Amino acid sequence: MSDCPDQLDVDALGRVLAEASADFVCLTTAHGEPFYLNPAGRRMVGLSEERPASGIALHDLYDDRSWTELRNVAVPKVNKTGRWEGRGRLRNVGSGEMIEVHARMFRFKSSEAGRPVCLAIVHRRIEEESDLRKALAEAQARKRAILESSLDPIVTINHEGVVTEFNKAAEQCFGYPREKILGTKPSDVLFPPGDGPGQQDRIDRYLNVGEGSLLGRRVEVTAVRADGETFDAEMAMTISQEQGAPVLTFFIRDISRQKKAEREQTRYAAELKRSNRELEQFAYVASHDLQEPLRKIRTFGDRLQMKYGDKLDEEGNDVLQRIQKAAERMQALIDGLLSLSRVTTQGQDFVVVDLEQVAREVVSDLEVQIEYVGGRVELGRLPSIQADPVQMRQLLQNLIANGLKFHRVDEPPVVKVYGRFAHGRTQRPAGLAPGEERCRVVVEDNGIGVEQKHLKQIFDVFQRLHSRDVFEGVGIGLALCRKIVERHGGEIAVRSVPGRGSVFEVVLPSAHVMAHGEKS
């Protein structure tokens, strides 16, 4: 501590502190003659402000027992050691009320002569001290209740760097009883031997300077249990003051299961990606290799029809037609598999695509089918997005053709196509990145609809809900739609009411970097 400045009046400072104190403060000469009594002391014993302290007789302010102890015990102890503490009873001279007090007496010596110059007598009401102790006990009880009810381990370290709090969750997490950890350094028991010294150095620096890079944020650390098992943990650190000294509190969370699950998920995702890649490659190769024998079946079937058709009887011609139709269905299946495999293996780069223009071109391509079923397609506004133009055409063509095909016999099909961005220009949140904006495309029909129990199946490969006699197809169209949407990082869903129609809803990012490592 630096030397006291010359201009500071120490006596005046002491008087200010005494005047502001809520305790009884009385200064006496070395012989016990009062010369100062502060305002709180005067109120406590019922003396007016006008009455001089020098006119006060101390023995009038105590009951007999307290005065005897003050004179025969306190004064000799103060003369010997410089201070004394005890209890007593003060008398209010106005009302006669007796007040239980905690008593302290101090001796002050002259810095020049080295002899006692005065005594200080300080009293505090027992009920006030009791209230303070009670409030402190209640605060400690609340703190203990919070510590013990916490689901996460909490460890407190005092200014000396040793553990002073180790809650029940910490006992369960680390496997140590509280009594064994209290008084130890955390680096000795909570961290692996290789990490311990570094963690302790960091703790010591925080305690010394009251700041550090980990304060107020969560970090991942490696901790160790009593049996030597290490585990992943998340730790947050706060610093506070207790009795003028810094205290560190660690909030720890065991994230070993979470980290294990993340590692499993990463491994599973990598395995799934590899499996999907191999499956796509297999589908492409298998379907490509099936083309040649299928071509021969169809070629020889056509030759057989041309050369020997008129020589075959009715049963022979029926068998031949069955062979040719089976070959046609096989060709459609192979074409569908190739289309599915090409979604990712032969996808084009993403460019700006005007979905409204694509929809108009699709309707033009479907003109014959629209005329055949006597239906119509109503196009609404559609946005422009960044996408694969060929696959957007496939997507819209499959959804519109689906609505035209599965129509009711008693009502011509009507397919409505429209869309918009999820946020309008005036509703777009501030700071929304281009890749976060999404558009919604809806294809709505008035067809036969789909029962609720079949809604999850209709996007599966080769899934058919109707016989070929009623509706043609191989069950790949909607599976292809889902594959295209997933490649674009979007989602596709359907709502349907049997006998009233279906609504297909596609949500796509408006601009983004393509998934699966492809170029944008």
Distance CA 36, CA 18 (A): 10
Whole-number pLDDT of residue 445: 92
Whole-number pLDDT of residue 381: 92
Tell me which amino acid residue 80 is: K
Adjacent-strand bridge partners of 72: none
Q: What are 344-356's pLDDT values in tens digits?
A: 656 677 889 999 9
Question: What contacts 222, CB < 8 A, 6 or more positions away?
Answer: 191, 192, 195, 230, 231, 232, 233
- Give percent of the chain with pLDDT exceeding 90: 16
Query: Is 264's pLDDT higher than 50?
Result: yes
Provide the 8-state DSSP code for 429.
Answer: P
Q: What are 446-489's pLDDT values in tens digits?
A: 988 887 777 777 877 655 444 444 445 446 788 888 888 988 88
Distance CA 157, CA 429 (A): 45
| Alpha helix stretches (DSSP H) within 366-410 | 367-373, 389-405
Contact between residue 145 and residue 128 where contact means Cβ atoms under 8 Å apart: no
Domains of the chain, residue spans: 10-131, 150-254, 258-346, 347-520
SS3 content of the chain, % helix, strand, coil (to 5): 45, 25, 30
Q: Taking Cα atoms as reference points, which of 308, 504, 469, 520 lies closest to residue 396? A: 504
Distance CA 155, CA 247 (A): 11
Three-state DSSP string of 453-468: HHCCCCCCCCCCCCCC
Contact between residue 184 and residue 162 where contact means Cβ atoms under 8 Å apart: yes
Topology given in CATH for the domain delimited by 10-131: Beta-Lactamase (3.30.450)
Q: What is the CA radius of gyration of the chain?
A: 45
Phi-psi sector, 68: left (phi>0), alpha (psi -120 to 50), beta: alpha
CA quadruple 387, 390, 393, 395: dihedral sign: negative
Distance CA 482, CA 28 (A): 95
Which 3 state secondary structure label does DSSP give 193?
A: coil
Q: How many Cβ atoms sit within 10 Å of the Cβ of residue 414?
A: 17
CATH code that applies to domain 347-520:
3.30.565.10
CATH code that applies to domain 258-346:
1.10.287.130
- Write down the residue that tokens 């200014």 correspond to: 159
Whole-number pLDDT of residue 434: 54
CATH code that applies to domain 150-254:
3.30.450.20
Which 3 state secondary structure label does DSSP give 285?
A: helix
Query: Is 275's pLDDT higher than 60?
Result: yes
Three-state DSSP string of 33-81: CEEEECHHHHHHHCCCCCCCHHHCCHHHHECHHHHHHHHHHHHHHHHHH
Query: Is 507's pLDDT higher than 90?
Result: yes
Query: Is 145's pLDDT higher than 80?
Result: no
Whole-number pLDDT of residue 520: 37
Q: How confident is the model at residue 219 (pLDDT cuts 50, 70, 90)?
A: confident
Whole-number pLDDT of residue 132: 61
Three-state DSSP string of 167-189: CHHHHHHHCCCHHHHCCCCHHHH
Q: Taking Cα atoms as reference points, which of 323, 403, 392 lies closest to residue 370? A: 403
Both tokens of 435, joined, read 């890749």
Both tokens of 6, joined, read 């010359």
Output 42-51 pairs: Cβ under 8 A, ≥24 positions apart.
44/90, 44/92, 44/99, 44/123, 44/125, 45/90, 45/91, 45/92, 45/93, 46/92, 46/93, 46/94, 46/95, 47/93, 47/94
Q: What are 68-117's pLDDT values in tens digits?
A: 999 899 988 888 888 899 988 999 988 888 988 989 998 887 656 556 67
Distance CA 83, CA 77 (A): 7
Same fold, 10-131 and 258-346: no
Ranges 134-143, 415-424, 430-439, most confident: 415-424
Q: Taking Cα atoms as reference points, which of 377, 390, 456 lies closest to residue 417? A: 377
| Alpha helix stretches (DSSP H) within 346-450 | 355-365, 367-373, 389-405
Does the predicted model carry a pTM greater than 0.75? no
Who has greater pLDDT, 51 or 243? 51
Output 197-202 pairs: Cβ under 8 A, ≥24 positions apart.
200/161
Both tokens of 443, joined, read 């294809």
